[in-house]
Amino acid sequence: MQRLQTSIPLQSKFDKFYRGVKNESGEFHVTGTARPGTPGQNVLARPPSSLAAFNQIPTGISRLSTISSTSSGVVNPGFSLSGQMNINIMERPITQHGVAGLRPGTARGLSMTRQIQDKRYYIGLLQLKIRELNQEIAIIMKDIEDQTKERATYIHYDKRAKDLAMELTALQGQLADYNIIVDKMTSDVGKEIIEKETEELATKNEQNLLKIEDMFEERKKLEQKLTKIEKQLEDEKRRTDRLIDSMDSNMKEKYDELSKEKEKLQEKANALQQKLDKLYKEQGYLEEEITLSPLKQEAVKLHLKITETEEKRDKLREEEKHRVSPEEEREKLLQKIKQDNMDIAAAEAQLTEKKKQIQEIEQKLEQLETDMEDTQTEKQMKYKELRKREEIIEQFMNSFEQNKEDESKKMNRLENTIVDYLENISNMLNIDINFIGNDEMAILNNLPLFNEYEYINNDQSFEKLTKENLKLQQIFSEMETLEQRLQIELTDLNGRMGNKSSKSIILEDLESLRAKLTLKQGELIAECEQLKHQQLECEEEIKTIKFECDEIKQRLEDNDIYTQISVLENTMDNLLEEHKKIQDLIIKEKERGIFEKKPRVTSKVSTPVWAMGLEVSDRVSERARVLSNEAGPQRLAKPGLFSQRQLQLDSDNAPAQKKSPEERPSWLRGVLRAAITEGTGVNALA
C-alpha cells in the first residue's frame, strides 16, 4: 500500500468524499482512494455488516481488495488529493420532478465502480480511512520517540559541553599563569622581586577577602532590615485593609475614587517620566553629535547669539514704542518734581503733627506719673508690705530645712555643753571644800572650758545659758508647729500630684483618646448626615407648603367672595375707627360738662352704624335659616357647616345685642366669614 500525502487535512478528504465529482457527461460519482482493486473481484467487496454506531449484529468479515487488478492494470480513481473541486448548484441535473438524485458514474475512460452505494459501501470507505489514520499515527509516534531520544542525547551533550567549557577556562587560567612565568623568565626578573609581588598579592587577596566578608555581613544586615521592613509593610497593609473594611460606604467610595485618581496620576507620571527619559536621551545624543561636529557647535553658538539679539531687538522695539519726545519728558519730570515736593511737604506736616502729638502724650505721661506718686494710698503701701512678707516667707520656706538642721545642731551643742557643766559641778561638789554661794558662781564662771566650739564666750554664766535654752525651746516648739503645717501642705501637694499624674496617665493614653474621638466624630458625622437629611426633607416640605400656600392665595385672589369679604372688612374697620372717634368725642364732651346738648348729635351719628350692623346680622341669620330649611337633615348632620353655627348664633342672639360695642364687630366678622365659607354667597349679604 502506497503512503498517502499527510499535508492534506482530514476534513478536506471527508468534504471531497461527501461532495463527489461531476463527469463530462453530467453524471455524478463519489471519488475513492487512489488504491488499485484486487484481481478477479469487484473493486469494492462487501464490507463487514456490523458496527457499534449502527447497532447491527456481525454476520461476517470481508476484506477489501489491496492488490491492483491484472485485467485492467489501471488505478481506480479514489479521493482526489490534488485539491477540491468547486461544484455549482446550478450544474446539478434538474428534471420535471425536481433535482435529480445522485447516481454513481464512471470515471473518464476508467472501469465502473460499485453501482449500489449503500451504507456498507460507505462503511468500507470509512474503515479504509481509519486504517490510513492509524498508519499515520504510528509514523508520528515513531517520529516522537526519535525526537525524545535526540533530546536526551542533546541534554547529555549539553552537560558535557558545559564541563568542557569549565575545563577550558581552568586551562586558560593555567596558560595565563605559565605565560606570566615565561615573561618573567625572559625579562630576567629576580627571585626577590617575584616573592615581593607574591606577598603583595597575598596581602591584597586577604584584604579583598576581609572586604568581601564585611560586604557579606552588611548584606545579611541589610537583608534582615529588608525582612523587618517587609514585615512592617505587611502589618501596615493589614492595618490599612482593616481600616478600609471598617470604613463607611461613603468613605469607601471616596477612598476608591482617590485610589483611582492616584492610579491615573501614577500612569500620567510614568508616561511623563518616560517622555523625560526619551528627551534626556535625545538631548544626550544631540550633545554627542554636537561635540563630534564643529559645524554643529558653531551653529549652536550662532543660534544662541540669534536668540540674544532677538531679545535685545524686542526690548528696543518696546522702548521705541514707549519713547516720548523730550518736551513731554520735561513736562513729566516737572510734574514728578512737583508731586514729590507736595508729598515731601505733606510728609513734613505729618511729621510735625506727630511730634506735637508725641510731646503732648509725654506731658500726659509725666502728669500721670506725678499723680501716681502723689496719690500713693494706704492700700498701695499695704500691698507692698504684703509683697515683702510673701517674699520673706518664700525665702524662709526655701531655707527652712537648712535652718532647721542648723538649729538642731546648735541645740545638740548646747545640750552637750550643759552636760559638761553639770559634770563639772558634780565633780566640784564631791570635793570636801566649803565655799560661799557667791564664790561657787565665781568658780563656775572661772571653770575651764570643755567646749571645742568658738562661738560660745567664756564669760557666759549659767543663767544666760538657761535663758537661751528657754528661748531655743520656744523656737523649737514654733519650728515643730511649722513642721506640722509643712507636712500637711506636703500631703496636699502629694494628693494634687497624684491627681495630676492620673490625669497625665489619661492624657498619655493617646490611642484610647483617639479611639474615643473617632467614635465621637463618627457619631457627630452620623448626626450631621441625619440632620442634613432632615433639613432636605424639611426644605422639601416647606417648598410644598409654600407652593400650596401660593396656590391658595391665587385661588383666594381669583375668588370674588374673598374680594368682597376684604372690601367688607375694610368697611368694618373704617366704621370701627369712626365709632372709636365718636366715643372719644363723647368722652371729651362729658368731661367738659356739655353733654346735655350733644347726645342728640352723637345719637344721630351712632345710630346708622349700629343700624347697619344689626341689619347685616338679621339678613345673614334669615338667609342661613332659609338655607338650613332647604338643606334638610343631611346638611345639619355634617360637622362644621353653617346650620350648626347659625343655631349657636340664634341661641346667643339676645345677649349679643346687649354686648359692648367693641365686642360686636368680631361677632359680625365671624358671621360673615361663616356665611361665605359655607357657600351662602353674596346674595346672603345683600
Rounded to 10°, the helix 560-592/599-631 angle is: 150
Strand partners, 98: 95
C-alpha cell at 83: 485539491
What b/e string do you get for 364-379 counting C-beta neighbours within 10 Å, with b at 16 or more? eeeeeeeeeeeeeeee
pTM of the model: 0.22
One-character DSSP codes across 81-98:
-S------GGGS-EETTE
Q: How far apart are CA 495 and CA 486, in angstroms?
A: 14
Tell me how far apart the alpha carbons of residues 397 and 388 are, in angstroms, rounded to a whole number.
Answer: 14
Contact 77/31 with Cβ under 8 angstroms?
Answer: yes
Residues of the chain with pLDDT under 50: 1-14, 16-94, 97-102, 104-111, 431-444, 446-459, 595-611, 627-628, 631-665, 671, 675-686
Orientation angle between helical segments 462-508 and 400-430, nearest 10 degrees: 150
For 22, the enclosing helix (H) or strand (E) is strand 21-22
Residues 6+ apart with CB under 8 A from 557: 563
Pick from 124, 138, 90, 91: nearest CA to 17 = 124
Region label for 74, one of left (φ > 0), alpha (ψ between -120 and 50) or beta (otherwise): beta
DSSP state at residue 433: -
Asked if 106 and 23 touch (Cβ cutoff 8 Å), the reply is yes
Distance CA(154)–CA(372), nearest Å, equals 116
pLDDT digits (tens, 9 = 90+) for 631-651: 444 333 333 334 444 434 444
* pLDDT at res. 139: 95
Which pLDDT score is estimated for 560?
Answer: 81
Read off φ and ψ for residue 58, nearest 5 degrees.
-70, 130
Q: Which H helix or E strand runs over 99? A: strand 98-99
| pLDDT for 583 | 87
CA angle 510, 511, 517 (to 5 degrees): 85
